[in-house]
Structure 1
Amino acid sequence: MVDTPGTGPVIEVRDLRMRYGDKEVLTGVDFTATAGEVVVLLGPNGAGKTTTIEILEGFRRRSGGDALVLGVDPADGDEPWRARLGVVLQSWRDHSKWRVRELLQHLGSYYANYSTPGKPRPWAVDELLEVVGLTGAEKTAIGRLSGGQRRRLDVAIGIVGRPDLLFLDEPTVGFDPEARRDFHDLIHRLTDVDSTTVLLTTHDLDEAEKLADRILILARGRIVASGSADELSRQVAGESEIRWTRDGQRFVHSAADATGFVRELFRQHGEAVGDLEVRRASLEETYMRLVREAEGAA
């Protein structure tokens, strides 16, 4: 039975496996994603991120396990199902002779027959141009866009059908800081307003921390950790580092119970405590440790 927006998991994966010849790329991946959730998939090169995404997009048949995407096995997805997906790859086929508005209107026309209750498809082109920051470039030939503008167009192509589920592969490569911030705002708009579910792969751990509701770390063909950046940090870091000043002196202390230590610190010294800082392991430190542990165990 096909899922309808707002009911059931958007992605449901159980014991997903993939083998190429004698090589096992995925050895039993399990996770779910719900409506409006941003899930970031992290992992070293060769961990199976791209294979996982391609299976869920319906572009590759798995070797074993179960997968449902929007209530459908992606291996059996039809056109109405595909109309509910958006994909932003690292690069798109060259459309250099098209003008921006013409291309978006042309691609959007394919989605007109696949509207669902409460979510008309496609985006109105003027609104789409505004949300991706291309209003001033609508009549520009695509071959004459700057690198940043071209990447914004890639995002517009991926969301023109107003998807229920959006796959993003390294979406902000080539973005300057302003474009990156605008993109993050766009993702929040898609999830908050349209309840779009986002599955994103990136090597930018700062971006992952800013966007993710949940982070999945894939190593050796399986999910070795799942949670928010803070939850993963707590899982890995047995102790937190507390820094503070008192009477002109700087102090540093490590404690498993940072909250309890800080309460005791203020009970003893009160307002004399200044410049207080509590630092847990960063996402980068957490990620590296979890991957090393998984590879060491293997």
Structure 2
Amino acid sequence: MTRALVLQSDFGISDGAVSAMHGVAHSVDHQLSIFDLTHDIPPFNIWEGSYRLWQTMAYWSEGTVFVSVVDPGVGSTRKSIGVKTGSGHFVITPDNGTLTHIARTEGIVEVREIDEKVNRLPRSGESYTFHGRDIYAYTGARLAAGVITFEEVGPALDPDSIERISVKEPAVDESTVSGIIDILDIRFGNLWTNIPRDFFKKMDIEYGDTLNVSILHNGDEVYHNSMTFGRSFADTHKGEPLVYVNSLDNLAVAINQGSFARAYNIRTGSNWIILFEK
């Protein structure tokens, strides 16, 4: 059975790297359906690579094979792995934390260390800096095309042994909802949090309510303001901030027709804390 192959990397598209990955996958099976998730992950940003996988995976059919290459440790002792997720998808990737969000949400049910003696592009054995082409695209294509089974990726590993990045979980109490700024809505500069919409329901927060919003970086407050909880950007005037529910059913913060991230120099990760108070 042939599965779709979806590629993600931090390679950009200004040179031939992504095309080379497509070429390797196409050479495995000329009928293989190959798609791009994104190749605009900021260089070396494992956290964002992890998030984009989670953001996208649920919308692809069970059995889809993802290749994710954000690999600042290429050529080092870090492992190359294939995993099967709790949702029935497969990911071929370096073991460097890029599965953090998937492990938290979908779960990892099986892990295989890639056997590079078998699953490596022929005549590439002396290359140590382009594993995205030589190992990950090649192995992912072979798995997607049915040339190998998942068991033939390599020997089994303990799913609990894979690398994970530390994540601060969202929390709610009688007066405050807190979480982290998980990712930026890059093009528009909105802040997407890891706080589910249901947390506002627990506090009886309704659309139209005014909220106090604070953002802390490494414990220091870098932003504090009050803003409206709106259904859409139409609930505020141009240039005003608002809280809204994003397309993943989590809470987000934006400036209507402006970039919140750029205006206040906000970034992402577990050291960027956001708090909402009614």
Class of the TM-score when normalised by the shorter of the 2 chains: under 0.3
Which structure is larger by alpha-carbon Rg, 1 or 2?
A: 1
More helix by proportion, 1 or 2? 1
Greater relative contact order (CA < 8 Å, ≥ 6 in sequence): 1
More strand by proportion, 1 or 2? 2
TM-score, normalised via structure 2 length: 0.20
